[in-house]
Amino acid sequence: MTAHAAHNAHKEQVLQDHLIVQLVAGEGYQQRDPRTDYDRAHSMDKALVLRFVRSTQPEEWAKLERHYSTSAEVTYFKQLEKALKDRGLLDVLRQGIKIVPGIKFTLCYFRPASALEPKRVAEYEANILSVMKEVEYSERHGNRLDVALFLNGLPVATLEAKNLLTGSNFRHAEKQYRKDRSPAGEPLLTFKRGALVHFALDEDNVSMTTRLQNGRTRFLPFNRGRDGGAGNPDVEGEFRVAYLYRSGTWGDAILSRPVLLDIIGRFMHLDTTGREEVMLFPRFQQLDAVRKLMSHARTFGTGQNYLVQHSAGSGKSNTIGWLAHHAINLHDAQDQAVFNTAIIVTDRIVLDRQLQGTVSQFEQVQGIVRKIDGTSRQLKEAIASGVRIIVTTIQKFSTEHLREISGQSGRTFAVIVDEAHSSQSGATAQAMTDALTREADSSDDIEDIISAYQKARGPQANISFFAFTATPRNVTLERFGTKGPEGLPHPFHLYSMRQAIEEGFILDVLQNYMTYKAYYELEKAVEDDPKLSGRRGQSKVARYANLHPTAIGQKVEIVVEHFRRHVARLLDGQAKAMIVTSSRDHALRYYLGVRDYIAQRGYTDLRALVAFSGELPLDGEKYTEADMNGFAETELPRRFDGFKPDGTAYPEQYQILIVAEKYQTGFDQPKLCAMYVDRKLAGLQAVQTLSRLNRTRPGKDQTFILDFQNTIEDIQNAFRPYYEVTALEANSDPNLVYALEGRLFKFGYLDKEEIERFAQTYFKGLLDGGDRARLEGLVRQAVARFEADDDEGRQEEFRQLLRSYMRFYSFISQVMKLEDTSLEKLSAYGGWLSRLLPNREIPPEIEITDDMLRLQKFKVEQKEQSDASLSAGDRMPLKAISEFGAKPYTEDERKELSEIVKAFNERHGTQFTESDMIRFESVNNEILDADLSEMLRNNPPDVVYTAFAQAFFQGAIRMFQRDNEMRNIVLSDADARNKATRHFFSRALRQVRDTPPPSV
């Protein structure tokens, strides 16, 4: 290389020149001269604008000339300029312009969904892509932009390119946009009016923005990702950013005709819902996921499963919206529509309003999107009438209305699952599949009916599932994952937690982690008390110490002083913190402790709120969340934020929120900077709880966690499976279903002939309404054998194994097609049997008092403090389903139950015992199927309580139909009913959240 060549290689123009060469040679761009072809005043290439409209719309241009004669060109550009100022470039490119007396001009032709219309294909090919370099864009100064890209003469993108060999990089380009590219008075740089996107790049990295605001300009990374983290992979013989300008093994270039016009036509969107308008340009992982998903579906058709593991901060709602709209426009190689309808399904009982709004924002034709926010009858009508995009909750598929739908197997569906969890393998998910595949006619032979029912559980040729989650469980991977060469499932598309952290979309909540350990000495006032020995006694003693005023007082001091020293000053005094406690009782005592400590110290700038469901008794008083906070529960999120809907501040500002279950998951508050944890956390629950802190906000660059219950190693182990790509150690063994079946029959409670007779009646009833009395009579025979057994341990083992069988069978039958109808029969029978089995006896309450124990010493000491962040390659695979078990009744549940019994008897003069009240547990057993369990597991309690209460009330009426005394109380005494409902709601929450998969 000559000295002159070596000198040129170090110039900044190397990348921009290479980019232009590739766009012209490989992507069909025309290179234009900015000195002669660029009109600064109007920021466009007027000659190309005219060439495009005259060549593609000659009749309209002739009409313009007839009406305006020699001023036709002037009129055209005057109206175009007005439209650009009033409506913005994106709308003009999509909708065109109109000129009196009704002359309509199209400014861009987007790719038609179908190639059956040659005229539309030819129009799309007629679009003119062009590029200019060193563009002097201003009439006031000589500043130049490295590269400008045009579509039919209108500017769509600008680029500033840096050369790493000169010591400059894409960050210098960003700085140049912020400092030297003021949009004021510059049409090319004006938001909405000018270029749609601005790229800053060097040979290794790309970032982009859609709005230049001088120093406030925010650039977002636009990289492919590298080895599970930020950046871009090496490309042989090319720069790492080649995907921007050159099509290759990685797919079509971002700036190529098919991708750029797709982005402008079906991705970009002006979001006007916030305080400030935002132009949405897809981030790379969003664009890449949608295009790869559609490419695969175009090639392989329906009947596929796709798992998209996208971290928090990935813009999932927008990705789902874009995917739905692309899916309904997708055609295969034979030019047939791949999907007739896209159904967006959320697991949340209250349909995500953000998701609803996002999908509707991309709707360009009225009526394409139907939001099912009413009854399931709406859903039935939407499916039957062929609505193109439906947004609904999965629970609406389980109602009677949908059973009437038939003949859907001839239509194809893209089912897009928001926050995919194991409920997608439960009974409600089965009801959804059934509604979308049901044939109009079926055999009258019972075995054929059962076989068809069983086959309908598995993969269906007319349905493709697109499942989104940041934290896939083992069952999620097996249900929706793509099998690799080693036979194990993995996500189809990945945007990892690590990449999101490295790119700055979320914060690393493990960066400042501090643990404390509590030490206490207890003196037994009652020596050798057998009630205090053993495991249950020890647990009681530990809880007594943890809830003791001395213990809470010391922890409160640590929390409040840490907040004042390290957190309160952040975000210009707007920083918030959350205290996570182990129970409602714990949360209330913490709140009282914080309130009193703040008052004693005179910290007038600090206020706390508490969140717990229902009513709590303490020291003879009864407390509710609304009473303690001074306003309704529904107001808490906004009051904690500190601002009213109109943007004005509340007079009282709150800094600390104390929670038990409420707001521990599903609570989005970017001002949270610290979390104080005083409960055991493990697995996915730990990730979801601590991730409340990871939301970004200007000025928020660090978080704090103080943990009184867990070790750093425990927490790191919880995060490891989800930090990079989530993997599975091994596939679940489907033969475990037979192992479970065999174990169930060994108890001697089940009789195969009874199950067979049950199945004959039950599955025939799916067609003609069934015989409930006969079914219950058949199952009662097994119940009688169960009750005759005096071994409570065996009874409890059977209960749990039966539930495990039903969950595991429901899961495995959706992963593969099964051909053994005896498994389906046992599943149907087991569902009835599980509801009718009597509940186990609960041991008497151990009530520890100060007379029995005295707390002599208590101290809390700091144990660990470190950056607990995970590093590249720090992974831990999930285990396959292999264990089956459950959790016992807890002391809090026992104590609350005793209080409910006492209240019932005092109010109604009854003599109910705890055994009487425990009959309500059978209601839980009846309603707590896999789907309701997942709702409780994945939603805040206040969100799901109403749905649970309705199901519980209906179940209680059925349960006590022969017990007039109890039934009348349930029907007439709302207060007593609510107490019982709250108790068994808490019981249900604890049961499903303490026994998540894989322990089914």
The pLDDT tens digits for 772-790 are: 788 889 999 999 999 998 8
Predicted confidence (pLDDT) at residue 145 exceeds the cutoff of 90:
yes
Could you give the residue ranges of the DSSP H alpha helices within 789-876? Answer: 792-815, 821-836
Q: Which residue has the tokens 């000495």?
A: 521
Predicted confidence (pLDDT) at residue 833 exceeds the cutoff of 80:
yes
The pLDDT tens digits for 81-121 are: 999 999 999 999 999 999 999 999 999 999 998 888 889 99
Q: Where are the domains of the chain?
A: 11-220, 300-495, 513-518+549-723, 891-994
What's the whole-model pTM score?
0.82
Q: If you count them, how many residues does the chain have?
A: 1000
Domain 300-495 has CATH 3.40.50.300: yes
Lowest mean pLDDT among 262-276, 326-340, 583-597: 262-276
The pLDDT, as a whole number, for residue 346 is: 76
The pLDDT, as a whole number, for residue 682 is: 87
Residues 6+ apart with CB under 8 A from 693: 507, 509, 672, 673, 674, 675, 703, 705
The pLDDT, as a whole number, for residue 661 is: 77
Host H or E run for residue 572: helix 570-573
pLDDT confidence of 851, banded at 50, 70, 90?
low
Predicted confidence (pLDDT) at residue 547 exceeds the cutoff of 90:
no
Cα dihedral value 407, 409, 410, 414, nearest 10: 130
Q: Rounded mean pLDDT of the chain? A: 84
Average the pLDDT over 341-364 and give the result: 63
The pLDDT, as a whole number, for residue 957 is: 74
Predicted confidence (pLDDT) at residue 26 exceeds the cutoff of 80:
yes
Lowest mean pLDDT among 283-292, 371-380, 843-852: 843-852
The pLDDT, as a whole number, for residue 351 is: 42
- Token pair, residue 951, equals 């199901």
The pLDDT tens digits for 869-882 are: 988 888 888 888 77
Predicted confidence (pLDDT) at residue 407 exceeds the cutoff of 70:
no
The pLDDT, as a whole number, for residue 899 is: 73
Per-residue exposure over 920-942, b if at least 16 CB sit within 10 Å of its own CB, e if not: bbbbbbbbbbbbbbbbbbbbbbb
Lowest mean pLDDT among 126-130, 305-309, 376-380, 424-428: 424-428
How far apart CA 252 and CA 268 sit, in angstroms, is 18
The pLDDT, as a whole number, for residue 8 is: 46
Predicted confidence (pLDDT) at residue 578 exceeds the cutoff of 80:
yes
Average the pLDDT over 437-451 and give the result: 63
Q: Which residue has the tokens 């789907």?
A: 931
Average the pLDDT over 336-350 and give the result: 80
pLDDT confidence of 441, banded at 50, 70, 90?
very low
Q: Strands (DSSP E) along 594-646, which ranges? A: 608-611, 615-618, 621-624
Predicted confidence (pLDDT) at residue 499 exceeds the cutoff of 80:
yes
Phi (first) and psi of residue 816, to 5 degrees: -145, 160
The pLDDT, as a whole number, for residue 31 is: 98
Residues 6+ apart with CB under 8 A from 261: 108, 110, 111, 124, 127, 151
The pLDDT, as a whole number, for residue 996 is: 44
Lowest mean pLDDT among 347-361, 480-494, 742-756: 347-361
Predicted confidence (pLDDT) at residue 350 exceeds the cutoff of 70:
no
Residues 6+ apart with CB under 8 A from 711: 515, 863, 864
Predicted confidence (pLDDT) at residue 535 exceeds the cutoff of 50:
no
The pLDDT tens digits for 936-947 are: 766 667 667 777
Indicate if 513-518+549-723 has the same CATH topology as 300-495. Answer: yes
Predicted confidence (pLDDT) at residue 608 exceeds the cutoff of 80:
yes
Average the pLDDT over 833-858 and give the result: 64
Q: What percent of the chain has pLDDT over 90?
A: 48
The pLDDT, as a whole number, for residue 426 is: 56
Average the pLDDT over 725-737 and give the result: 87
**Among residues 499, 482, 472, 464, which one has the least CA distance to residue 284?**
499
Return the higher-pLDDT residue of 987 and 185: 185
The pLDDT, as a whole number, for residue 502 is: 95
- Cα separations (Å) of 387 from 390, 417, 460, 914, 995? 7, 18, 20, 52, 39
How far apart CA 67 and CA 209 sit, in angstroms, is 41
Q: Which residue has the tokens 């006031």?
A: 140
DSSP conformation letters of 733-791: -TTHHHHHHHHHHHTS---HHHHHHHHHHHHHHHHH---HHHHHHHHHHHHHHHHH---
The pLDDT, as a whole number, for residue 797 is: 85
The pLDDT tens digits for 67-81 are: 999 999 999 999 999
Contact 855, 974 (CB under 8 A): no
How far apart CA 154 and CA 53 sit, in angstroms, is 12
Predicted confidence (pLDDT) at residue 266 exceeds the cutoff of 70:
yes
The pLDDT, as a whole number, for residue 930 is: 58
Predicted confidence (pLDDT) at residue 846 exceeds the cutoff of 70:
no
Contact 260, 151 (CB under 8 A): yes
**Among residues 214, 390, 355, 342, which one has the least CA distance to residue 273?**
355
The pLDDT, as a whole number, for residue 998 is: 39
Q: What percent of the chain has pLDDT over 70?
A: 82
Burial of 444 (0-12, 13-18, 19+ CB in 10 A): exposed
Count, in order, helices (H) and strands (E) of the chain.
Answer: 39, 29
Fold of 513-518+549-723: Rossmann fold (3.40.50)
Predicted confidence (pLDDT) at residue 355 exceeds the cutoff of 70:
no
For 977, other C-beta atoms within 10 Å of its C-beta total 17
pLDDT confidence of 587, banded at 50, 70, 90?
very high
For 772, other C-beta atoms within 10 Å of its C-beta total 12
Q: Give the 3-state secondary structure percentages of the chain, helix then strand then coil, rounded to 5.
A: 50, 15, 35
pLDDT confidence of 698, banded at 50, 70, 90?
confident
Predicted confidence (pLDDT) at residue 828 exceeds the cutoff of 60:
yes
**Among residues 629, 622, 588, 589, which one has the least CA distance to residue 607?**
629
The pLDDT, as a whole number, for residue 994 is: 54
Give the residues across from 860 on adjacent strands.
518
Average the pLDDT over 919-947 and give the result: 68
The pLDDT, as a whole number, for residue 988 is: 77
